[in-house]
Amino acid sequence: MELLLILFVIFLAASCIYVLMQRKEKDDCSTNYVLRETLLSPAERSFFDTLKHSASEHYEIFGKVRIADVLMPKINLDHNSWRLSFRKISSKHFDYVLCNKQTLEIVAVIALEDKSHGLRKTTDRDIFVQNICRNSGLPLICFDAKTDNQIQSVRDKLLSSLNSTF
């Protein structure tokens, strides 16, 4: 009887170790990733070049920045509201962020809108992003990806949107 109990305990311990090892293998998904070829799509890259030439030496431009790295939920929210608000922005990004070159203070965010922005899901996302930008006082400047965005026209739109000089 004692030998049977010892064998049972050994079997139970081995089973627990096996289950824990299997769970660790499932949780460790570090091998499930591959490197993307580029950060920006060809259209985003083309507009990025135009944007760089359009903004003066006073501005730095960053591409594909998480909204949660630019905006954050208000600190006076209760825990559940804060978490819900954070989750709504944590997996979304701005196409470009325009910053003061000296201080890296965020000046505006820029959206490059392609044909997908006419879809229902994208439209809902766009409205949400427009609202959070407006409510936080963050200028959101939208450009149409379909149009031929010339340096001067992009510069003029930035200038008028920011009410400043380049």
Query: Could you tell me the CATH number of the domain that includes residue 131?
Result: 3.40.1350
Residues 17 and 60 in one domain: no
Residues 99 and 52 in one domain: yes
Among 70-74, 121-125, 153-157, the range of highest mean pLDDT: 70-74
Residues 107 and 142 in one domain: yes
Residues 48 and 126 in one domain: yes
Alpha helices (H) along the chain: 2-27, 42-54, 79-90, 120-136, 151-162
Which of 110, 125, 39, 114 lies closest to 70, judged by CA?
A: 110
Phi-psi region of 148 (alpha: psi -120 to 50; beta: other; left: phi over 0): beta
CA dist., res. 89 & res. 73, Å (int): 9
Average pLDDT (15-44) is 77
pLDDT of residue 120: 66
**What domain range is 128 assigned to?**
42-162
Least confident of 3-7, 36-40, 51-55, 126-130: 3-7
Which of 160, 162, 153, 139 lies closest to 47, judged by CA?
A: 153
Tell me how many domains the chain contains: 2
Residues 84 and 147 in one domain: yes
Residues 132 and 61 in one domain: yes
Residues 110 and 144 in one domain: yes
Residues 2 and 50 in one domain: no
| Beta pairing partners, 109 | 97, 140
CA dist., res. 70 & res. 93, Å (int): 9
The residues, ordered by sequence, that sit 6+ positions from 136 with a Cβ below 8 Å of its Cβ are: 71
pLDDT of residue 26: 59
**Where is pLDDT greater, at 89 or 3?**
89
pLDDT per residue over 123-139, tens digit each?
889 999 999 999 999 99
